[in-house]
């Protein structure tokens, strides 16, 4: 059966010291609860090794990066490769976040390269898809996510596709305080799952975790996570406070 997952995306927030403190708080908080989901924090590159060093139980708290390069190594000043990320102890990497697609021009082509390198290096991609407001208003959201999933991932074998976590994040809901309703989330998650089933069959589709992201908070997480095709959340703003993040983790 597919996993339930709550993953934090810290984005470009926290200094190294603040980030290590936040990770310690989450690690500590997890000692007193038995979450019904996997818990992951995806942190800035600069924080990875130090955060890894304060995680006391990697079974309970996974670590990820927020991106990786589409090249293995070489003359790419400022880039951080998948082998570098893996060498810190991280096990996950967010790929194709809408902020990367929007501000850094990431395309399906570069994302395919990143996904391949992540998998080659034993990292689990958390692959983000989602439509912008105009696309939702024009009722194109189904078509948009289908294209993003198929262009970004359908080159993979069923075996490799099975290693990927998907995150549906409507761009209009990210950091805006506007959440998709639980019914809106369920409708599109079910559609994404049926798209996967058409390509890889029901078993692979049933085993794929599809997270919801976009202004998820302790107050709305339980309703979203109660939907059958919503397997957890990718959490931005609310991942920056331990109490809020734990409020979402314990919403399962």
Residue from 97, 99, 131, 186 carrying the catalytic annotation: 97
Closest residue to bound ligand PEP by CB: 236
- Residue 9 touches ligand PEP, criterion: CB under 6 A: yes
Least CB distance from residue 234 to ligand PEP, whole Å? 5
Return d(Cα 80, Cα 74) in angstroms, integer: 10
| The token pair that represents 236 in the structure block | 């931005």
Do 120 and 110 touch, CB atoms closer than 8 A?
no
Q: Is 106 a catalytic residue?
A: no
Displacement of CA 55 from its chain's centroid (Å): 19
124-183 positions binding ligand PEP, by CB under 6 A: 169, 174-175
How many of the chain's residues bind ligand PEP (CB under 6 A)? 13
- Residue 85 touches ligand PEP, criterion: CB under 6 A: no
Do 5 and 211 touch, CB atoms closer than 8 A?
yes
To which residue do tokens 């293995």 refer? 72
Q: Is 97 a catalytic residue?
A: yes
192-251 positions binding ligand PEP, by CB under 6 A: 213-216, 234-238
- Residue 44 touches ligand PEP, criterion: CB under 6 A: no
| The token pair that represents 98 in the structure block | 């809408």
Do 104 and 141 touch, CB atoms closer than 8 A?
no
Interface residues with ligand PEP (CB under 6 A)?
A: 9, 169, 174-175, 213-216, 234-238
């Amino acid at each position: 059966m597919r996993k339930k997952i709550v993953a934090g995306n810290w984005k470009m927030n926290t200094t190294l010291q603040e980030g290590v403190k936040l990770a310690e708080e989450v690690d500590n908080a997890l000692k007193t609860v038995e979450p019904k989901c996997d818990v992951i924090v995806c942190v800035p590159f600069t924080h990875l090794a130090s955060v890894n060093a304060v995680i006391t139980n990697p079974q309970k708290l996974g670590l990820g990066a927020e991106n990786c390069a589409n090249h293995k190594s070489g003359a790419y000043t400022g880039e951080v490769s998948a082998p570098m990320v893996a060498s810190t102890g991280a096990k996950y990497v967010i790929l194709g976040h809408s902020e990367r697609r929007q501000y850094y021009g990431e395309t399906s082509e570069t994302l395919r390269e990143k996904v391949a390198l992540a998998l080659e290096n034993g990292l689990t991609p958390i692959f983000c898809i989602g439509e912008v407001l105009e696309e939702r208003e024009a009722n194109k959201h189904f078509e948009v996510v289908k294209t993003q999933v198929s262009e970004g991932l359908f080159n993979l074998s069923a075996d490799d596709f099975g290693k990927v976590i998907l995150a549906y994040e409507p761009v209009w809901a990210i950091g805006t305080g506007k959440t998709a309703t639980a019914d809106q989330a369920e409708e599109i998650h079910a559609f994404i799952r049926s798209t996967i089933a058409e390509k890889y069959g029901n078993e692979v589709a049933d085993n794929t975790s599809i997270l919801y992201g976009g202004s998820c908070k302790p107050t709305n997480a339980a309703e979203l996570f109660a939907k059958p095709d919503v397997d957890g959340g990718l959490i931005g703003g609310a991942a920056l406070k331990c109490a809020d993040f734990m409020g979402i983790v314990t919403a399962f």
